[in-house]
Amino acid sequence: MEKTRTPVTVAEAVQRVTGRVCRTGTETVPLHASYGRILAGPLTATHDVPHFTRSPYDGYAIASRDSAGASGSNRVSFTVVDHIGAGEVSQAVIGPGEAVRLMTGAALPAGADAVVMFEQAVSAGQTFTIRKAFAPQENLSLQGEDMQAGETVIPAGSFIHPGVVALLATFGYGEVKAGKRPVVGILSTGTELLAVTEPLAPGKIRNSNGPMIAAQLARMGIPYRIYDTAADRLEVCLQTVRQALAETDCLITTGGVSVGDFDYLPDIYKRLGADVLFNKVAMRPGSVTTVAVAGDQFLFGLSGNPSACFTGFELFVRPALLKMMGADHLYLPRTTAVLAEDFAKANPFTRFIRAVYDGTTVRPAGFNKSNAVSSIARGNSLIVLPGGTRGFAAGDQVDVLLLGVEEGMNDWVL
């Protein structure tokens, strides 16, 4: 008889997984391919930004002291001695009553310390007048106002989003050192599984977990290798698992992880001498989710039930892969929202409900059993109801995990 499994809390399971992760290493990637990677080292400003004081407006550079006393009834006049656009540097040194006509982004000429916007001047040929006094540094984009040389702007472990790409470009990095991405194997097990394009047959279903996991990995920018689905036969599955472990950094299997007569993953972990971190989690769906480590390779044994499989990936596989790449924000972003409808079921275990979150309220995304596919498709989030609670009513405040958001949180508190 199958030994009773001891459930661990979700927090404990998450901690056991992330606690065992070793970094995959680092590699240098071209800047244009760096989006979505994890920054290996801190990004320090190698120069001031901007590195020269410039005009933030199209207008005239003046010496502010020349504008003293200007008013509507006492217009002060300037003579334009040069004319530059962004990228040009004026050789003029502004003397009393002189100005340089310059465009946004152009370097401030010597002798100037303020900029008059075109809208603040009345122009006439090579001269213009103003009706107010300008303060020193008025309308300037000062050297170093954005970043100063030596400042750490982005810490190591950050997700390289488009803003970080802009920063790397600003400092002249044509390539960047990033966390190496693990190559992940995907193996769907189950004698009942048909390839996606095969016609249905009695008792058979199409393999939806494999393509779903591939997409979950793709969403993280992680390369994967898909193995042919394996029938529920111990030797066949074991052989494919061994092959996958030889060819990839870690393996995600789906199905065959529970207590059924043809659930062979538990035997496979034994045969591999793998260290099973847990094989039962106090959660629904996905209570049978198993994570094992063979040598230094993770084996994520996700449930065959689609909603459980999906949830197991987001809760355990995702943070592990992020940590392998050196990320410091491992967990799904979390928020709270008002439950839009009653959820009457009791929650002996922590419950993750595929849900639709609209920024204020959240509601279950329809049929929500462990075997549901529809609610994974309709949902954009997971409602988290703590274990040991009764039902929840419309209007209750609940925790929500957001799916498909690039950057996560650096703690798991649920």
Ligand X SMILES: Nc1nc2c(c(=O)[nH]1)N[C@H]1C(S)=C(S)[C@@H](COP(=O)(O)OP(=O)(O)OC[C@H]3O[C@@H](n4cnc5c(N)ncnc54)[C@H](O)[C@@H]3O)O[C@H]1N2
Residue 315 structure tokens: 């809760």
Subset of 260-319 contacting Mg ion (CB under 5 A): 260, 263
Subset of 256-285 contacting ligand X (CB under 6 A): 256-260, 263, 285
- Please state the closest distance from residue 21 (CB atom) to ligand X, in A: 23
Q: What is the DSSP string of 232-250?
A: S-HHHHHHHHHHHHHHSSE
Q: Which helix (H) or strand (E) holds 100?
A: strand 98-102
Residue 289 structure tokens: 């989710």
Candidates 24, 90, 253, 254; binder of ligand X (CB under 6 A) is 254
- The verdict on 317 binding ligand MOO (CB under 6 A) reads no
Contact flags string 175-214 toward ligand X, x per CB under 6 A: -------------x-x-xx-----------x-xxxx----
Closest CA relative to residue 387, chosen from 351, 343, 335, 344: 351
**Whole-angstrom Cα distance, residue 303 to residue 376?**
15
Subset of 263-302 contacting ligand MOO (CB under 6 A): 284-288
By beta-carbon proximity to ligand MOO, the closer residue of 34 and 258 is: 258
**For ligand X, which stretch binds (CB under 6 A), given 43-51, 132-140, 253-261, 266-274?**
253-261
Contact, 316 vs 14, CB < 8 A?
A: yes
By beta-carbon proximity to Mg ion, the closer residue of 113 and 263 is: 263
Contact, 311 vs 382, CB < 8 A?
A: yes
- The C-alpha angle with vertex 106 and arms to 104 and 112, in degrees rounded to 5, equals 105
- The verdict on 287 binding ligand X (CB under 6 A) reads yes
- Please state the closest distance from residue 338 (CB atom) to ligand MOO, in A: 26
φ and ψ of 12, to 5 deg: -65, -40
By beta-carbon proximity to ligand X, the closer residue of 301 and 326 is: 301
By beta-carbon proximity to ligand X, the closer residue of 24 and 209 is: 209
Subset of 248-267 contacting Mg ion (CB under 5 A): 258, 260, 263
- The verdict on 213 binding ligand MOO (CB under 6 A) reads no
By beta-carbon proximity to Mg ion, the closer residue of 159 and 269 is: 269
- The verdict on 67 binding ligand X (CB under 6 A) reads no
- The verdict on 303 binding ligand MOO (CB under 6 A) reads yes
Is the bond preceding residue 333 a cis peptide, omega within 30 degrees? no
Q: Which residues, 6+ apart, have CB-to-CB distance to 129 below 8 Å?
A: 75, 76, 77, 78, 121, 122
- Please state the closest distance from residue 25 (CB atom) to ligand MOO, in A: 33
C-alpha distances out from residue 208 to 216, 218, 255, 377, 403, Å: 12, 15, 12, 11, 19
- The verdict on 370 binding ligand X (CB under 6 A) reads yes
Residue 250 structure tokens: 């870690």
- Contact of residue 347 among ligand X, Mg ion, ligand MOO, none (CB under 5-8 Å per partner type): none
Helix (H, G, I), strand (E, B) or coil at 224: strand
Write out the residues near ligand X by the rule CB under 6 A: 188, 190, 192-193, 205, 207-210, 254-260, 263, 285, 287-288, 303-306, 308, 370-371
Write out the residues near ligand MOO by the rule CB under 6 A: 284-288, 303, 305, 308, 370
